[in-house]
């Protein structure tokens, strides 16, 4: 069973946290189930960037990024090569380490 480690976030998870995930599960669902309240203003419809996260470890194990997600990600603040929308990225078979950009919550 893969684990998701969320790095410390000053507002959402000051001490960070590590949670179990199921292969194929959406990152956002794992976060919300564990009271990590990542913004998701478009309710998982892939039209905003409020659930943007940066995958620090395990990026290549995630589901492929669809063209629609890539187009939306281009608008994200703090975009990095390992950025994904947590409402679209599905957990693979490897552990993940995730950073939630602070700017969205200021």
Q: Which residue would you say has higher pLDDT here, 106 or 41?
A: 41
Q: What is the pLDDT of residue 106?
A: 52
SS3 56: strand
pLDDT band at 102 (very low <50, low <70, confident <90, very high): confident
Tens digit of each residue's pLDDT (9 = 90 or more) over 64-99: 999 999 999 999 989 999 999 999 999 999 999 999
Say which residues have a Cβ less than 8 Å from residue 65's Cβ, sequence separation at least 6: 73, 84, 88, 89
């Amino acid at each position: 069973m893969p684990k998701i480690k969320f790095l410390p976030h000053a507002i959402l998870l000051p001490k960070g946290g590590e949670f179990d995930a199921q292969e194929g599960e959406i990152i956002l669902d794992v976060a919300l189930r564990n009271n990590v309240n990542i913004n998701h203003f478009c309710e998982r419809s892939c039209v905003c960037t409020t659930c943007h996260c940066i995958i620090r470890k395990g990026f290549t194990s995630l589901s492929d990024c669809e063209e629609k997600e890539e187009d939306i990600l281009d608008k994200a603040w703090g975009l990095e090569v390992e950025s994904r929308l947590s409402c679209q990225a599905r957990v693979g078979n490897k552990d993940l380490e995730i950073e939630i950009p602070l700017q969205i919550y200021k």
